[in-house]
Every structure is written in C-alpha cells, then in structure tokens.
Structure 1
Amino acid sequence: MALSSPRRTPLSDQVIAQLRAQITSGEWPVGSRIPTEAALVEQLGVARNTVREAVRALAHNGLLDIRQGSGTYVLATSELAGVMHRRFSDADPAQVAELRATLETAAAGLAAERRSERDLVVLDAALARRENAWQSGDAESFVQADAAFHQAVVAAAHNDVLLAVYSDLGEVTREHLRQDVGPELIAERYVGHDTILEAIRAGDGRRASVEAGRAIGACADA
C-alpha cells in the first residue's frame, strides 16, 4: 500500500488515518520499525510537526512504540490490541500460558476440521519461516515467526470471533513467547510444530488439539 499525500484538513487526522491503515493492513507488521520521521514527511508532504503529532497519537493509543535512539515500532494492529497489551503486560506467565492453551488447542481442533487447501499452503509457508528463523539464531525473528504460525492456525479455524480475540491478544502472547524462548536460542529449548500441522492436514481435530497443547506445555517446561 503506497502512502498518498493527504488532501483535506485536519491534516493530523488524515495522517493518523493513513498510518493506521499501514498498520492494520499488515504493510507495517507488528514488531517492524516504521519509516523515519523525515521519510514520512517526504512521503506524505506534510510538516514534521504534523507527522510527529500523528505518531504520538498512535503511540498513545497503543499501536506504536517510540523508542528513543532506536526508532518507532509497530506494537499492535488495533487500539483494542494496544489496550490488551497494556492491561496484561504484567500478567502471571502461568495464566497467560493457560489462556494460550485454551485458545490454541481449540483453534487447532477446529482448523483440522475446517482447513482449506489454501490454509494448508499458508501453514506450510509459516512453518518453513519458523524453521528458518530458528536456524538464523535471531530470537526475536523466531518469536515473530512462531507467533505467525499460531496466527495461521487460528485463521484456519474459520471463526472470525476467535481470530479477532486472538489477534487482539497478539502482543500479550508474543511477550509470553519471548519469556519462553529467552534472549538466545538454545537447541535444548526447541519445540517443533510439525506434528500440529500434520494433524491439521490429516483432519484429525482431537490430535491437533493434543499436539497444540503439548507444544505449549513443552515450551513451559523447557
């Protein structure tokens, strides 16, 4: 999605809407750094103060994270996701694990029953990216890739409400994954997800749920 120059006032609202669209559309994925203030000024054709005001507004709403000396990063895909992150940022990790287990085991079971061939293509690609991220040795890349795989499983369940809830909890679950993974990738802590995909591909809902739950338990015990 190309950024276009806003044409109507108030400019700040126009810029906020355009930046939000970049985030919600996935053009700027969660965890990615958005263009610099100078780059946005050039792309949007507005004053620096207008861009700064828009970025601060989206940061206040929980969509962006302004990190001094590093840049501005996408924190959530919606205002509700930002609220969820702030609300549960200090939640008990054990309770977050229980929530993940509840949602992800249910989603895996439904995905096995409802997945399309297109879903399987997406899941295959997501699992491959997860494997590649592990091999890269970059912990944050692995967290993002692992979260993307689970998101794809939830999407394959074809339950819009479940997908919306899981998406809004995205940064909460990613933070839990970061705690599970740690700052460095260690071979002994690796938990494969191929059995989850195999069960979904086979249409075995019970086994898919069991494997999804086992993966979360293995991560917690690693």
Structure 2
Amino acid sequence: MTENNINQDYKKQYQEIAQVLLEQISSGKYPLGSKLPPERTIADAYGVSRTIVREALIALEVKGFISIKQSSGVYVINKPDSLQSRIMGPFELLQASQLLETNIAAFASQMITIANIETLKKILEQELQATTNNKSNKENDFHFHLTIAEATQNQMLVNAIKNLWKHKEKSFNWEQLAEHTNTKGYRLKWYADHQQILAALCRRDSEGTYKAMWQHIENEKNVLMNISDKTSIDFDGYIFSSVNLLEHLS
C-alpha cells in the first residue's frame, strides 16, 4: 500500500468517526452542554486508535460543534441543526471583509468628522503601545475598523462590521490562524497598514482610502494563505478571489 493510500484511509477513518459522533449529537444522545465519552472509550467502541478519535474530535471542534477542554473533557456546544452551526471559514470572512470594508472606508472618508479622526489617532497610539510592550491588540484592531464604520454616520454599516467580527469570534479556524500572526512583527505590519488608512481618511481621499483598506486586507489574506494547511478538508482559501473593484471598473 502506498503512502498516499495510507493517508487517505487515515483521513477516511477519522472523518467517519466524526460523522458518527455528529449524528449522535444531532439525535440528542449527547445534548448541548453534555460531555462526550473519553477518547479511549470511543476508540474501543469503534475499533480505531485514539489518534483517529483525537483527529475526529479536532475536526468537530474546528466546525464549532464541540469544545475540547484540557483536563476537563469534551463538551457539546452546538448541534448540526442549529443556526449557529454555520461557522464560516477564515477566507470566506476575509473575502466579505475586503468587499465590505473597502467601500465603507471610501464612504467614511467623505463623512468623517474631526472627532472620528481624533478617536482613530488615539486607537493607533494604543495599538503601537500594546505592540511595543508585546501585548495583544485585538481590541484595538476591532475598534479601529469599527470607528471607521462609525465615521460613515450610518448605523446599518456599523452593525455590519459588528456582525462580521462576531462571526470571526465564532470561527475556530479564524482564531487558530489569527493566533499565528499574533506576533510583534505582524502587529507592526498591521499598524503600518492602519497608518496608511488613517492618512487617506485625513486627506478625505476616497480612492486612496479604498486602496489602503483593500491592501491591508489583501496583506492579511496573503499571510494567512501562506500558513494555512491547504490539504485540510476545511481549507476554504479556494473561494477567495482578490478582485479590486476600483481597478476593475477603471
């Protein structure tokens, strides 16, 4: 048997175990909040190795159905028929972000107030300080993008950005990839991108703001694409088409 066949059999086995467990969750055998049996119990029940079971559980965690808590157990947090079970992949989220936020930023450049600009400057100061001290700046990142939406003076656009971030928080794949870029080097890169966006906003340059936001998200996409496991069944990078509508229409 070739190495490729072995890998395919291994993948098929853990996918089958994952599907069995998912059906049991769906049927109510393991209701929301309950614990799944230990790995060894599942392995013995289906005649597979604990490694296969572990991979199956990881696959279910990535999809948002269970939560694996070290030294505590595996808990059911979602059912397949739940509306919340539709956990979007990181590149689906990035694609939506690029299409949505570029246009929001361009519009914000025409509606922005001095107060909005001052808020953005303070956020960037806090972002640089956090990065310099090697601390996480997730909150600063969120507030930077949210404040740009608020600068449109349109509550529906603000809600759209809030909703986008909520989906990011629910996506285990997004969190796993984002954690790899939670380093000082990458944070300095995102800070520089934010500076370019703010500079264009201060100039009230709608085209410049659009391009700066587009490039910021494109930079993020390229980094995440490079560190992604493209052989994973959960890889959704193939859907991402980096279409710069401004250049396409010009």
> TM-score, with normalisation over the residues of structure 2?
0.49
After TM superposition, the structure 1 stretch with the greater mean CA deviation from structure 2, 125-134 or 168-177, is: 168-177
- 1:97 pairs with 2:98: no
Amino acid in the other structure paired with 1:121? E
Instruction: Give a deviation string over 1:156-182, Cα, whole Å, max 9, x none.
Output: 111111111221332324564763352
Q: Is the 8 A contact 1:100 1:173 kept in 2?
A: no
CA positional deviation for 1:68: 11
Q: 2:153 is matched with which residue?
A: 158
Counterparts in 2 of 1:1-222, with a 5 A limit? 86-88=84-86, 90-138=87-135, 141-173=136-168, 176=174, 179-182=177-180, 184-187=182-185, 190-191=189-190, 192=192, 193-222=194-223
Count the aligned residue pairs. Answer: 139
Cα distance change of structure 1 residues 144 and 68 upon mapping to structure 2, 3 Å threshold: farther
Instruction: Give a deviation string over 1:74-129, Cα, whole Å, max 9, x none.
Output: xxxxxxxxx99x455x3121111011112211111011111011111111111112
Structure 1: distance between partners of 2:166 and 2:176: 10
Q: Is the 8 A contact 1:105 1:209 kept in 2?
A: yes
Q: Is the 8 A contact 2:110 2:204 kept in 1?
A: yes
Structure 1: distance between partners of 2:91 and 2:144: 21
Instruction: Give a deviation string over 1:24-51, Cα, whole Å, max 9, x none.
Output: xxxxxxxxxxxxxxxxxxxxxxxxxxxx
Amino acid in the other structure paired with 1:200? L
Instruction: Give a deviation string over 1:4-42, Cα, whole Å, max 9, x none.
Output: xxxxxxxxxxxxxxxxxxxxxxxxxxxxxxxxxxxxxxx
Gaps of 5+ in 1: 1-66, 70-82
Q: Is the 8 A contact 2:201 2:209 kept in 1?
A: yes
**Bigger Rg, structure 1 or 2:** 2
Structure 2: distance between partners of 1:118 and 1:178: 35
Root mean square deviation of aligned Cα: 2.7
Helix, strand or coil: the match of 2:88?
A: coil
Cα distance change of structure 1 residues 95 and 184 upon mapping to structure 2, 3 Å threshold: closer
Cα distance change of structure 1 residues 199 and 161 upon mapping to structure 2, 3 Å threshold: same
Structure 2: distance between partners of 1:217 and 1:177: 18
Amino acid in the other structure paired with 2:102? T
Structure 2: distance between partners of 1:112 and 1:157: 8
CA positional deviation for 1:155: 0.7
Q: Is the 8 A contact 1:199 1:207 kept in 2?
A: yes
After TM superposition, the structure 1 stretch with the greater mean CA deviation from structure 2, 172-181 or 194-203, is: 172-181
Gaps of 5+ in 2: 1-68, 72-81, 224-250
Helix, strand or coil: the match of 1:137?
A: coil
Cα distance change of structure 1 residues 183 and 197 upon mapping to structure 2, 3 Å threshold: closer
